[in-house]
Every structure is written in C-alpha cells, then in structure tokens.
Chain A
Amino acid sequence: MLYREAGQFKTSYSADQAMLTIPLDRWFVFALAAFAIVGVPLLASEYLMVSILLPVLILSIAALGLNILTGYCGQLSLGTGAFMAAGAYLAYKIATNITWLPIWVVIPLAGLCAAAIGIAFGLPSLRIKGFYLAVATLAAQFFLLWLFVKVPWFVNDSISGVPPAPPRTVFGFQVTGAAAGDEAKYLFVLAFVIALAWIARNLARSRIGRSWMAIRDMDIAAELVGIRPLPTKLSAFAISSFYCGVAGALWAMCYINSVEPTAFDINRSFQVLFMVIVGGLGSVLGSFLGAAFIFLLPIFLNSAPGWFGYSVASDTITHIEFMLFGVLIIFFLIVEPHGLARLWQIAKEKLRLWPFPY
C-alpha cells in the first residue's frame, strides 16, 4: 500500500470537496491527532510538553489568526500582540468576575471580545491598504497595550499590575494557573488547537474563505461578483482577532500563568508575522510549520553548540539569531512567498515524478 496520488478516483462532488481527498492523508492526520492526544502525554517529558509543545501550539493559533487576515484576506496587520493581549486581559476579567462560568466558555468569550475590538480597528481597512493599513494596526498595538496597563480595572486593581492566572478546572482537572498539571494544560490547549484548525480549514473552503481570497487577489472584481468589501474585510478582522484573542488567553492562563503586558508587545506581533511569512501565507499547515520553526530556531541555536562540545557566549547566539531571522525573512519573501507550506508542496510534486525530471 504505497502512498500515491494518481488513481485515487472520486465519484461524487462531496468526495472531491473533502478536506483531505486522499485516504492515506486522512489516516495520517487522524493518526497524528490521536498520537498528539494519547501518545504525547504518555511519552513526552515535562520539558518537551510544557516548554516546547505548549507555546508552539498556542502560537500556532495566533499564526492561524493572522494567516486568516493577512494570508487569506490580504490585510497586513501588526496588531496581533494587541489582540492577543485583549484576549488575555478580558479572559482574566471574565474569569475572575463571573467565577461560575467554566473556563472553556471563558476563553472563547474573551476571543469574542477581542473580535469586537478587531472589528473596530479593522474599520480603516476600507480606505487604506498595504503598509498604511499595517501602520493603522500598529496604532491598535500601542493603544490597546497602553490601555490595559493604564486602566487597573482590567486587572481588578491588582497592585503589581501582573495578576496570576486564576486556577480553573475542566472535568475536575486544573488546567490554568501555575499549579495545573502538565498533561491537563497540554490537552486543554490541544483541544482548542484541533477545533480551531479544523474551523479554519472549513472557512477557507467555504464561501467566506473564497470571498476573503477574492478581496485579496482583486478587490474590484470581487465587488463585481457581489462581494461587499467592508463586511468581508471586517469578518476577516473579527475572525482573525478571535483566534488571536483565544491564543492570548491561553498564553496567559496556561503558559506564563500570569497576565502581563510584556508578553504581548510589538515583538510578539512581529514574531507571529514572521511565522506566517515563513510558514506560508494562505495555508493552515503553514501556520503550524511557521510557528514551530520560528519558536524552535532560537532553542536549537542555543543548544546546538553544546551537542558538539562547543560553548558559545549567549549574546553571540542572540546576535546569530537576529542575523539568521533577517536572512530567512528576506529569503522567504524573495524566493518563496508561500513559505514552508509551498516548499512541502513542491517536494511532493517532485517526489511524484521521481526519479524522472518531468
């Protein structure tokens, strides 16, 4: 039973429109999901699960969100960090004020609040495009962060301004706060990742996804087929901000265990943007590849010299990291704007013909 794409015939449109049309692909994704749910908590070390998989998964959600806005709808945004912060602060506010509300409701609710804020900051997108829109979203980044730091209401007048995440449970297992178990946290985040990735794929292949891509590719023609630009762009802003808000809430509640503004500064916005560019604009798979790549590269650079018995000063490593990132971004923008996801596709196309050149 070899993996091949030829000869996989479909006899109905519903089969042709399935998310994964090749059975082996489908089985692979199911197996991967099953392994992530069952295998990883049993086998993985605490370090791998909490320090690597958890942040990568959460950042994947943020990257998915930005990919919806930038990759699918073509609206450049530098406000990802702010929308994540909105999710984090509002999740904290909701969780601490409506204590009976289960945490798996609180986090999507915080996402909805972030979506509303995203709509407000998406309004200029009808008039301005490209870099100018990026600057307008930059305003969101600075304004929202300033607001959350300046107004103590958001953190219930906490004196330090950096309140710890409230401990909450799902099915009796604590999933948020510092005392939560690693497996519980990981599975809680994973549930969001799987659901949101599946929804992103569904949106991308439905009417709304096509209208985003139409706006991205040629807005005049989009209007011609009956797509109204403003609601379409705002829906992309809303859904993108929802994803970012959920990611921010999870980041604060499950990963850093506190609600602090520095976690959502402009560097976070750029980090997520790099993930989307390197991973692949307009690709769900790319969001995951990009998040893993950008997050793991510094860790790899830090530990790689140690494997070969060298010791390199940590500031040198930081410098190398900056240089490598710069080179990578330029490389991907010039050579492969569709990122790792496209490279993966090209590799598959080449392998299909291998060993013949064409």
Chain B
Amino acid sequence: MTRPGDILLSVKDISLRFGGVRALTDVSFDIHEGEIFAIIGPNGAGKSSMLNCINGFYHPQEGTITFKGAQRRQMRPHEAAAQGISRTFQNIALFKGMTTLENVMTGRMLKMRASLAEQALYIGRGRREEIEHREKVEEVIDFLEIQSIRKTPVGRLPYGLQKRVELARALAAEPELLLLDEPMAGMNVEEKEDMCRFVLSTNHELGTTIALIEHDMGVVMDLSDRVVVLDYGKKLAEGTPDEVRGNQDVIDAYLGVSHD
C-alpha cells in the first residue's frame, strides 16, 4: 500500500569506507513522506552504517544526503536531531541513571529555550517550560502506555520496556523522520506485536516517516510500504515487500547460491 508523498530523504551514491573495508558502496534510495521504509540484509550488509550516515554519526566519503530539500555531506548528530531526525539503537542507548520521565524529557531538549539563570532560579521560562514540555511528554507516555513506570529509573526496567522508553524518547522530539535500528530484536512474540502496533500507530496517527532495520521478515513484510535490500554494502533490490520477496538476487543473498 504505497502512499504517494514527496521525497523526504534522498540518499545518493553513498560510499563509506573504514580503511580498506568498504562498508557501503554507491547506495542510493529515496524515502517518501509518510511511509514506513525498511532496510534489510544479512549481517554485516551495512544497514546500521547506513542509518549512522543518515544520522550524522558516520561521514561518508562520497555521495550526498538530501533531507527536506537541503543537501549535506557532513553533519553532527545533534544537528540531525535539530533538523528533525530521531533514532533508536540496536542495543538500547538509554540514560540508565535517570527515570523514564527524565529520559523522555531529554527528547524535548532542543525545544527548550530557558536561560541558565531562569533554570537556576526555576522562574519564568525555566518553570513554564518544564510544565509545558511535561504535558507533551505525558502525551507520548500515554501513547506508548508506559504510565506506570514514569518514575522508575530505566536501569531497573526489563528489556522490552526499555525499548519502548527509547522509542518514547525519540517520539518526544516530534521527529519528521524516525530511524529504528532493530526495534524488535530480542523480544518475544507478544512484545513484538506491541511494538508493531506502536510503530504502525506512530506512522498512522502522528504521520511520522519511519525508516527501520529489522531481521524478522514477517514483521518487515507486514509493516513496511517499501523495502531496500543491502548486501556487502551494495544495494541489491528496492521495492514493495512483494517485489523484493520475489527478487532472485535477494533470495540468493539470504539462502545462498550453489556453485556447481
């Protein structure tokens, strides 16, 4: 069910090398507004490297990334955040010593403007902002159904809930593009179903464009509008889940080819 939309993010001929290792070679694809876009591929295919490029953690040697019409080559992660790109990590990157609420509040960081003095004295904007943003954060907390763990330090939470808190932190920033790096990894079926529900309702209700990496093919085929397949840093195929499923190169990459 491809929905037409303007191109939100355009990746063009990206090449990324670490010394002699070619992590990505001439990869190009477009992500359209409002779609769920999946990046799949065997281990070491360069999926996470791709997200890291989009996100500004890695700086590709060649190629351009155009986000919302603005082309760029080099960008720091906090600049990506300022432009409206949020992400979650494969192995959870939460602030373990802080409560769920504080973690989600950090997602609002860039929208807060109070000066140091206002924060130090907790007056004026310092106080007002805390309350305004708390309201927004509570909406996200309601949305992801994590009300009961609001004041729990996230280090004490079970894995599945930590993943959800991480999604909450990303959503609190009200991103235009949400990058999810294996959101279902290590979860049981029930938790996966919950997470799928949250990803879908984020896309449908909040209209957020989502790019996700996932190994569970059932999840990928059900959720995504379009899929790109990477293998050894090269793009193998791109298209709707059905198109990709039937692609011989993809089948070969996943199942192997006989050489006799």
Contacts and interface: CB of A to CB of B under 8 A. Distances in A.
B122 A217 contact: no
B109 A210 contact: yes
Contacts, number: 100
Contacts of B122: 202, 205-206
B130 A17 contact: yes
Nearest to B122: A202
State the main secondary structure of chain B at its contact with A.
helix
B105 to A, nearest CB: 6
B169 interface: yes
Interface residues of B, number: 39
B70 interface: no
Contact of B77 (A202, A207, A213, A224): A224
A221 B109 contact: no
Interface string A296-326: 0000000000000000000000000000000
Interface string A42-75: 0000000000000000000000000000000000
Contacts of B81: 223-226
Interface string A142-156: 000000000000000
Nearest to A228: B78
A227 B134 contact: no
Contact of B95 (A17, A213, A226): A213
B110 A13 contact: no
B98 A226 contact: no
A210 B127 CA distance: 15
A203 B119 contact: yes
A210 B82 CA distance: 18
A206 B169 contact: no
A220 B93 contact: yes
A224 B87 contact: yes
A174 to B, nearest CB: 29
A14 B131 contact: yes
B78 A206 contact: no
B81 to A, nearest CB: 4
A211 B89 CA distance: 19
A17 B134 contact: yes
Nearest to A282: B97
Interface in B107-130: 107, 109-110, 112, 114, 116, 119-122, 126-127, 129-130
Contacts of B90: none
A123 to B, nearest CB: 18
Contact of A214 (B86, B95, B116, B126): B95
A213 B102 contact: yes
A130 B67 CA distance: 37
A235 B98 CA distance: 20
A199 interface: yes
A16 B127 CA distance: 12
A284 B32 CA distance: 49
Given A223-B76, A223-B78, A226-B173, A199 B120 contact: yes
Contacts of A213: 95, 97-98, 102
Contacts of A221: 89, 93-95
A210 B121 CA distance: 16
18 contacts: A13-B131, A13-B134, A14-B127, A202-B119, A203-B119, A203-B120, A206-B119, A207-B119, A214-B106, A216-B95, A217-B97, A221-B89, A224-B81, A225-B86, A225-B106, A225-B173, A227-B78, A227-B106
Given A220-B57, A225-B107, 14 more contacts: A16-B134, A205-B122, A207-B114, A217-B96, A218-B96, A220-B93, A221-B89, A221-B94, A224-B77, A224-B87, A225-B86, A225-B110, A226-B81, A227-B78
Interface of B: 55, 57, 76-78, 81-82, 86-87, 89, 93-98, 102, 105-107, 109-110, 112, 114, 116, 119-122, 126-127, 129-131, 134-135, 138, 169, 173
